[in-house]
Structure 1
Amino acid sequence: MTSSDLTMSHKTPFLTHEVHNVPEPMPAYNAWTSDLALREAVTREGGAWAESSLTKYGALAGCELMELGRLANENRPKLRSFDRHGRRLDEVEFHPAYHEVMRQAMKHGVHSFSWRHEDQVGAHVARAGLVYLGAQPEAGTSCPLTMTHAAIPSLRQAPELAAAWIPRILSTEYDPRMLPMAQKTAVTIGMGMTEKQGGSDVRSNTTRAHRQADGSYELVGHKFFFSAPMCDAHLVLAQAEGGLSCFLMPRLLPDGTRNAVHIQRLKDKLGDWSNASSEVEFLGATAYLVGSEGRGVATILEMVALTRQDCILGSAALMRQATVQALHHTAQRSAFGRKLVDQPLMRNVLADLALESEAAVALAMRVARAVDASPRDPQEAALARLITAVGKYWVCKRTPTLINEAQECLGGIGYVEENILPRLYRQAPLNSIWEGSGNVQCLDVLRTLHKEPQARDALFAELASATGQHAAFDQHLGRLQQAFADPSTLEVRSRRVVEHMALALQAAILIKAGNPAVSDAFCASRLSGDHGLVLGTLGAQAPLAALITRTTPC
């Protein structure tokens, strides 16, 4: 190297080369206003009246929350079992970034919007939009936010508890202080269902609940997955004299003493690093009955129905963020003489990512509308009980595949931790496992179809409303109807049947949405076989440019 070369080297950070053809970092953007598919879906399903709230939170989701999400995941929660003098603490310490994400989420109503606007049609749809926005920059906080939101229907089965706890659940403040409920401005709620020996088979739980003279219960046993142990209370299942029952277990008792819940350890998880998941033992912990003895599963399923909805939303959100990252990178990176986004094969991949992402958010918002309409419309209530499990099965299954394809769009740096995609990829499998694995969802679909014929009627009425507009859809619907002809083999075939139900629902929603570029491409690729077994295999006639343009953040 000559002295002249050395003299010029101060213009770049390296002596050996100039850095070029490297994309700029993702700039701040509004995750609501820049997402056409989301805005159309929320409007279509009745939540457009909340646009102001969604716009405000969308501005945070595409800006400050991105950096806070990075910090919250790089600085994982720590268990503090004892203080310096050996006194039991059982406290979880979080990085300030985690607390700020929670504060902003609760301020904007991610945990409570649907209940605070319960009398307004579309409140659950609007709140679903908030969940979708918040889960893109930071998904770990979705766990306590989701459970807090979902606890209200269960708590309403215990009017005295509801009167004390629900006003603090509905608060838009965030109060992480370790104080008794009565001294707090806001509370969060967690969940403890599963034990070592049973997992999803909660009827095999061995934790015992002993009724006390004052009407409370003392619980002795354990939970192998005790979600978000820093919450102010948990809904848990335990065996009472009348059978498996649901209880509200506060973290602190009214006099300020710690409840007899010992955190054994925090789970060392594949992803979800910002959130704390734990194993606990109950050593005579005080709890209060929710609902009736022996009705624990039915009571807590009121909560699970809503947490499963958020699994769909969370997975769809991860898809969206991965697709946004791939589009951002390929629009700036050149190879072999042109931008990646302009190369035919890459365009096929990007268009397919866009199509899968849009179909996911379309289904998620249709589930939200069914949930929203359930108190007013028996057919929508029946539909919600069915398609929540269908959507959770399918959207959550598709997410890891999509995110991996997005990583490939970035090449090697898509696998490097300085990028958000490795975090998204680690997070991706969670929602397919949490709140019931794929097999559990399929069995729940079969159980609903068997016990509630009106659910099947509601499904096929929904699908029939989209017939006559695309031959591939009509043919797929005929095959789906035939799939129920042999009940003796239905369980072993149920994964395929539920997959076909999900695809039919997505196609019907997109057809009725009225954008042929999207619905025709979906029907041709997902229903009539003009597609391979991996993403990026759309047919040569697919509207690649339209799909990419529609999905690119504006």
Structure 2
Amino acid sequence: MDKLPPFETHRVDNQPPPFEPRDLWADDVVLREAVTLEGAAAFVPRLSAYAHLAGDELYRIGFDANRDKPRLKTHDRFGHRIDTVEFHPAYHRLMEAAKSHGVAGLSWREPQPGAHVARAVLSYLHHQVEAGTSCPLTMTHAAVPVLRREPALREWADKAAAPSYDPRDLPIAQKSGVTLGMGMTEKQGGSDVRSNVTVATPLAREGEYALVGHKWFFSAPMSDGFLVLAQAPGGLTCFLLPRRLDDGCKNAFRIMRLKDKLGDWSNASSEVEFCDAWARRVGDEGRGVATIIEMVMFTRLDCMLGAAAEMRMALAQAIHHARHRASFGKPLIEHALMRNVLADLALESEAALAFSLRVARAVDASPNDAKEAAFARIATAIGKYWLCKRAPAFVNEAQECLGGAGYVEESILPRLYRQAPLNSIWEGSGNIQCLDVLRALSREPGRSTTAEGWSTGAALLNELETATGRDAAFDAIMAELRTQLASRSVDEFGARTLVERLALVLQAAVLLKSGSPAATLFVTSRLQGRHGLAFGTLPASEGVDELVSRALP
């Protein structure tokens, strides 16, 4: 202080250096191991390149995209209805980077072994630095296989998967790449989409309809097209509704307002009215839910990946801060209690990512492997429920590691905290996921060796059985679980307890089979009950310091 001018009241010290630029691939040992384990090693150069971009430019401009929220312009200055949503240029750059690197289409354009795992990793990397754009990217990716089933919509499928982003409001024929949104939810229905009242009236040409009605949540309203549900003469049906018609005219829907959301600020969500809007049927009349269900496995997987990504970024921020910030005479990370907190977070983060990429491998194999398809069917519901429940508490614990610095908007942590609850609500809340697990287990109780393949219950048990013989405590817990599943005694009231148990055992199984140094401590803390309700309550273990150094070398 003696060397400072007399009017300077303090010197700046004991502050961490900037977090970015950060190589999100080189820093993530768990990610690198999982990519190899789950069969996507051939994509490593591309994953590494995107990780470098995400941890530098995309991390920085994500703050701009969220600070300047989308704005709705219903009319131009001459009074014409335009229903345009204006975004900060950073939003478009984020979308362009993601689309061009395959976040929305790699798995469809390059259908080779490991492609879905690689695409999942790209989504995981992108979501760490900017979660709002993940919404249209996920919907665009998930819609492709549904659109491919309709020959008339092949161009839509191909351009959705294309590594090209074009934000211009033009008909699809004039664009090399498109994005897709969704409109399922109505005021009176929520998750109960069968109560939708939007009416679809057939037009003269086969497969074409006029839609009249409303949507309470219409996601990403500046997308080029939207998958929507409406009541056709044959029942609830799925439709593709384009933003622009082939002749260039705006389709007949009106954006009433943008939602003022807790988080997801960079992305727009809206309410709309259909006023004889033109749409093309996707699938048969009355099969709307069955058609949309084909997307659910992909969107649920992205919810898992989103939760894992939020955990990963929050963990990295906390460790970075603790290594450079001192308190009471030594770095934060050298305090025993802080090491417990950071190690506990690292354990949770590793288990979340390992589980998510194991499910991505199952999705990858689903078209040709009945057992993996059945496992993916139930594991996405289990994983979406559990990982999305864990994310908000996880991010908040990471904020606490930074203290007040983790509560101000100059840090990414407030944005992560606002974002964290979204994935537990979107694409079916926790109760919906648990009821889906119960349905899957009750309808398909046994193993089939016929051409019909595997039941979900049998595939789930098989996945868990392959992890036995590595840890005595895990084996004992598996014996109890085996008995519980065989009895089929769980009713709706106890569904959450069962799904939570299944999620933890699945995470343990993935860690054990991978040979992760985190596996034993995960079993001890999460399955044997040697863990409190809050993070930072691990039992004493020699592996604690290794967990932290492994999480962020």
Shift of 1:468: 1.6
Distance of 2:476 and 2:542 partners within structure 1: 20
2:531 equivalent in structure 1: 531
Deviations 1:277-327 (Å, cap 9, x if unpaired)? 001010100000001000000001111221111000011000000000000
Given candidates 111, 125, 135, the residue that maps to 1:143 is 135
Shift of 1:542: 5.0
Distance of 1:367 and 1:150 partners within structure 2: 15
1:465 equivalent in structure 2: 466
- The yes-or-no answer on 1:8 pairing with 2:1 is no
Q: What code does the residue aligned with 2:216 have?
A: F
- The yes-or-no answer on 1:109 pairing with 2:102 is yes
Distance of 1:287 and 1:361 partners within structure 2: 39
Given that 1:483 and 1:497 are in contact with CA atoms closer than 8 Å, whether structure 2 keeps it comes out as no
Distance of 2:512 and 2:92 partners within structure 1: 42
Task: Report the aligned-residue RMSD.
Answer: 1.3
Distance of 2:329 and 2:39 partners within structure 1: 46
2:519 equivalent in structure 1: 519
Distance of 1:484 and 1:152 partners within structure 2: 35
Given that 2:424 and 2:430 are in contact with CA atoms closer than 8 Å, whether structure 1 keeps it comes out as yes
Distance of 1:112 and 1:291 partners within structure 2: 22
Given candidates 150, 160, 164, the residue that maps to 1:173 is 164
Distance of 2:484 and 2:494 partners within structure 1: 9
1:190 equivalent in structure 2: 181
Shift of 1:271: 0.3
Q: What code does the residue aligned with 1:9 have?
A: P
Distance of 2:176 and 2:110 partners within structure 1: 20
Given that 2:140 and 2:161 are in contact with CA atoms closer than 8 Å, whether structure 1 keeps it comes out as no
**TM-score, normalised relative to structure 2:** 0.96
Shift of the 186–248 alpha-carbon distance from structure 1 to 2, 3 Å rule, reads same
Q: How does 1:95-134 map to 2 (within 5 A)?
A: 95-118=88-111, 120-134=112-126
Q: What code does the residue aligned with 1:227 have?
A: S
Shift of 1:33: 2.0
2:420 equivalent in structure 1: 428
1:282 equivalent in structure 2: 274
Q: What code does the residue aligned with 2:30 have?
A: A
Shift of 1:480: 2.0
Q: What code does the residue aligned with 1:178 have?
A: D
Shift of 1:543: 1.3
Distance of 1:541 and 1:147 partners within structure 2: 43
What SS does structure 2 have at the residue aligned with 1:29? coil
Deviations 1:46-73 (Å, cap 9, x if unpaired)? 1111001101100011100111111000
**Percent identity of equivalent pairs:** 60
Q: How does 1:358-437 map to 2 (within 5 A)?
A: 358-437=350-429
Shift of 1:27: 3.1
Q: What code does the residue aligned with 1:23 have?
A: P
Given that 1:382 and 1:452 are in contact with CA atoms closer than 8 Å, whether structure 2 keeps it comes out as no
Deviations 1:151-204 (Å, cap 9, x if unpaired)? 012112212112x21221122111011100111111001111110001000000
What SS does structure 1 have at the residue aligned with 2:201? strand
Shift of 1:416: 0.8
Shift of the 183–538 alpha-carbon distance from structure 1 to 2, 3 Å rule, reads same
Q: How does 1:199-210 map to 2 (within 5 A)?
A: 199-210=190-201
Deviates more, 1:274-283 or 1:151-160: 151-160
Given that 2:47 and 2:122 are in contact with CA atoms closer than 8 Å, whether structure 1 keeps it comes out as yes
Which runs of 4 or more aligned residues in structure 1 lie more than 4 Å from their structure 2 counterparts after TM superposition?
485-489
Distance of 1:93 and 1:332 partners within structure 2: 40
- The yes-or-no answer on 1:60 pairing with 2:60 is no
Shift of the 510–488 alpha-carbon distance from structure 1 to 2, 3 Å rule, reads closer
Given that 1:192 and 1:226 are in contact with CA atoms closer than 8 Å, whether structure 2 keeps it comes out as yes
- The yes-or-no answer on 1:492 pairing with 2:483 is no
Shift of 1:446: 1.0
Shift of 1:433: 0.3
Q: What code does the residue aligned with 1:473 have?
A: F
What SS does structure 2 have at the residue aligned with 1:541? coil
1:326 equivalent in structure 2: 318
Shift of 1:9: 2.1
Distance of 2:482 and 2:213 partners within structure 1: 46
Distance of 1:267 and 1:481 partners within structure 2: 45
Distance of 2:376 and 2:490 partners within structure 1: 25
Given that 2:144 and 2:161 are in contact with CA atoms closer than 8 Å, whether structure 1 keeps it comes out as no
Q: What code does the residue aligned with 1:148 have?
A: T
Q: What code does the residue aligned with 1:435 have?
A: E
Shift of 1:141: 0.3
Shift of the 456–542 alpha-carbon distance from structure 1 to 2, 3 Å rule, reads farther
- Count of aligned residue pairs for this structure pair: 543
Distance of 2:267 and 2:225 partners within structure 1: 16
Q: What code does the residue aligned with 2:482 have?
A: Q
Distance of 2:487 and 2:45 partners within structure 1: 50
